[in-house]
């Protein structure tokens, strides 16, 4: 009897262990996992990892959110900008997206049909103050069939020419060129005086396509062509687009860029500008902060802003630049209930007026209407940027409004174009072939 009781007790213990083990191995439904001690766990993929003031503000805001919401376990999955783009494209194929993420319009084009991105319409409608706090048209790039899939984190030009006025004066260029012929003449004069006319870092294949070619192409085609191309009634083999490709290749052939343009990144390109080896650099509005924070004082003082002059016979507006919101905050379409609510709380924290005010004072360009801010905290170059962009119209950013496959075809092709391994005509045909495959 004693033996039987002991055996029965042993069996009960084993069964209890098995039950506990099985319950511990059970996986919660997707989008509803909890973190340590019952906390709501949220993973957040982003690329705000640099030491720029804007990136630091982003991370500090997340840390403030954690203190305000101890019930939420916010886990950052952060890597640098260029590898982040690659990673998010890859995750778009597998569907293993984080709970929260930063996404551009091109990524959303891929995610939306698969149900990977959640919508914001209901949340925005429930909070009119939040909805009305954004700048006009800032949601345009994240709106599909009336559904909003991203909350803009910025609103800016991706095309700005930063030029060193002291170098221009030294070689006899008294003002920034106002015609295309003057622009070409300035490039020749700078090159003849042993300066790199334009420094760019195109190692990731995005910078030249996004910050230079998008605006250059619009100078030839005009924005109506881009809209027609998206609608399928215009082609990349159309003469105006081919002219834009040919003009970019002509600039490369005449030595307008640093010879290693395809093998260095943006920071390395900036160094050439900071060291006075280059007279110009072309990049987005974010370079305003990079120059303010990292350039020598004499470079900061000498830097002025400009844009590409009109091209002969071009159909585009000469005051237009590629620009818009570019990147947005999004959440995983699988999220439901309190986890979805928690994700929206994070996004609101990163898109309210208080955050926008701090972003402006960090020389950033928020998508939020900011009623007042300390202008003394904005650099002279930042103030110059706001004046520069005040009369500009925004044209589409290629890598925001086109599919990932099409963007890759254009931007990788531009790398080849710059080194002369493909002709403008052949590249246009390759791009159009990719476009045709998506119909």
φ/ψ (deg, to 5) at 402: -110, 160
- Residue 399 in tokens: 């890598």
What residues contact residue 182 under an 8 Å CB cut-off, 6+ apart?
309
- Residue 416 in tokens: 């080849």
H or E segment at 328? Answer: strand 327-331
Give 231-279 pLDDT, tens digit per residue: 899 999 999 999 999 999 999 999 999 999 999 999 999 999 999 999 9
Query: 438 pLDDT band (50/70/90 cuts)?
Result: confident
Q: What is the mean pLDDT of residues 285-291?
A: 93
Provide the pairing of β-strand 147-148 with 160-164: unpaired
- Give the per-residue pLDDT at 38: 81
Query: 33 pLDDT band (50/70/90 cuts)?
Result: low
Query: What percent of the chain clears pLDDT 90, i.e. is strictly above it?
Result: 80
- Give the per-residue pLDDT at 34: 57
Q: State the Cα–Cα distance between residues 114 and 104, nearest whole angstrom.
A: 16
Give 120-179 pLDDT, tens digit per residue: 999 999 999 999 999 988 998 899 999 999 999 999 999 999 999 999 999 999 999 999
CA atoms within 13 A on the CB side of 351: 30
Q: Which segments of 81-121 are extended strands (E)?
A: 100-104
Q: What is the mean pLDDT of residues 297-305?
A: 98
pLDDT at 378 over 60: yes
pLDDT at 25 over 70: no
- Give the per-residue pLDDT at 73: 97
pLDDT at 115 over 60: yes
* Domains along the sequence of the chain with CATH: 36-156+325-380 (3.40.190.10), 157-323+393-437 (3.40.190.10)
H or E segment at 25? Answer: helix 2-25
CA atoms within 13 A on the CB side of 221: 29
More confident residue, 95 or 269: 269
Do 164 and 302 touch, CB atoms closer than 8 A? yes
Identity of the highest mean pLDDT range in 81-85, 306-310, 368-372: 306-310
Q: State the Cα–Cα distance between residues 47 and 55, nearest whole angstrom.
A: 9
Query: 4 pLDDT band (50/70/90 cuts)?
Result: very low
Query: What does the buried/exposed string (b/e) look like for 397-431 if buried means 16 or more CB atoms within 10 Å of the residue's CB?
Result: bbbbbbbbebbbbbbbbbbbbbeeebebeebbebb
In this predicted structure, which of 14-23, 124-133, 350-359 has the lowest mean pLDDT?
14-23
Question: 331 has which bridge partners?
Answer: 100
pLDDT at 19 over 90: no
Q: What is the mean pLDDT of residues 67-83?
A: 95
- Give the per-residue pLDDT at 371: 87
Q: Which segments of 270-313 are extended strands (E)?
A: 278-283, 303-306
Q: What is the mean pLDDT of residues 32-46?
A: 81
Give 187-236 pLDDT, tens digit per residue: 999 999 999 999 999 999 999 999 999 999 999 999 999 999 998 999 99
Q: State the Cα–Cα distance between residues 41 and 34, nearest whole angstrom.
A: 5
pLDDT at 2 over 90: no
* Nearest in space to 160 (alpha carbons), one of 401, 387, 314, 366: 387
Provide the whole-model pTM.
0.80
Q: What is the mean pLDDT of residues 326-345?
A: 96
CB-based burial label for 257 (10 Å; 0-12, 13-18, 19+): buried
- Residue 260 in tokens: 């290693």
Q: What is the mean pLDDT of residues 11-18?
A: 40
Residue that the structure tokens 């910078």 belong to? 207
H or E segment at 355? Answer: helix 353-361
H or E segment at 320? Answer: strand 320-324
Q: Would you mind telling me the total number of residues written for the chain in this entry?
A: 439
- Give the per-residue pLDDT at 280: 98
Number of separate helices (H) and strands (E) present in the chain: 21, 14
pLDDT at 388 over 80: yes
More confident residue, 363 or 49: 49
Query: 35 pLDDT band (50/70/90 cuts)?
Result: low
- Give the per-residue pLDDT at 137: 85
């Amino acid at each position: 009897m004693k033996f039987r009781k002991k055996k029965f007790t042993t069996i009960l213990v084993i069964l209890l262990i098995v039950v506990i083990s099985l319950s511990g191995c059970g996986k919660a439904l997707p989008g509803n996992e909890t973190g340590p001690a019952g906390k709501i766990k949220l993973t957040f993929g982003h690329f705000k990892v640099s030491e720029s003031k804007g990136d630091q503000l982003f991370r500090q805001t997340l840390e403030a959110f954690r203190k305000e919401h101890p019930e939420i376990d916010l886990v950052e999955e952060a890597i640098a900008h260029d590898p982040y783009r690659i990673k998010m494209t890859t995750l778009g194929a597998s569907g293993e997206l984080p709970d929260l993420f930063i996404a551009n319009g091109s990524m959303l084009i891929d995610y939306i049909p698969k149900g990977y991105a959640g919508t914001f319409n209901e949340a925005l409608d429930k909070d009119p103050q939040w909805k009305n706090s954004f700048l006009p048209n800032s949601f345009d790039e994240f709106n599909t069939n009336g559904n909003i899939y991203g909350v803009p984190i910025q609103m800016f030009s991706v095309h700005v020419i930063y030029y060193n006025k002291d170098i221009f004066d030294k070689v006899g260029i008294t003002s920034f060129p106002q015609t295309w012929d003057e622009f070409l003449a300035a490039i020749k004069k700078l090159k003849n005086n042993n300066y790199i006319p334009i420094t760019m870092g195109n190692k990731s294949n995005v910078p030249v396509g996004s910050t230079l070619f998008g605006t250059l192409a619009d100078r030839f085609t005009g924005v109506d062509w881009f809209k027609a191309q998206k609608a399928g009634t215009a082609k990349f083999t159309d003469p105006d687009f081919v002219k834009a490709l040919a003009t970019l290749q002509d600039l490369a052939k005449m030595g307008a860029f640093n010879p290693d343009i395809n093998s260095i990144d943006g920071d390395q390109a900036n160094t050439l500008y900071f060291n006075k080896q280059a007279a110009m650099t072309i990049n987005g509005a974010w370079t305003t902060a990079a120059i303010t924070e990292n350039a020598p004082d004499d470079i900061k003082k000498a830097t002025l802003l400009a844009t590409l002059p009109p091209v002969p016979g071009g159909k585009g507006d000469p005051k237009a630049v590629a620009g818009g919101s570019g990147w947005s905050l999004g959440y995983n379409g699988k999220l439901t209930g309190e986890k979805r609510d928690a994700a929206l709380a994070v996004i609101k924290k990163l898109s309210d007026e208080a955050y926008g005010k701090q972003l402006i004072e960090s020389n950033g360009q928020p998508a939020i209407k900011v009623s007042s801010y300390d202008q003394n905290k904005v650099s002279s170059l930042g103030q110059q940027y706001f004046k520069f962009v005040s009369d500009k119209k925004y044209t589409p950013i290629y890598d925001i409004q086109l599919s990932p496959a099409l963007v890759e075809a254009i931007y990788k092709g531009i790398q080849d174009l710059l080194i002369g391994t493909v002709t403008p005509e052949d590249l246009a045909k390759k791009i159009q072939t990719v476009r045709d495959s998506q119909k």
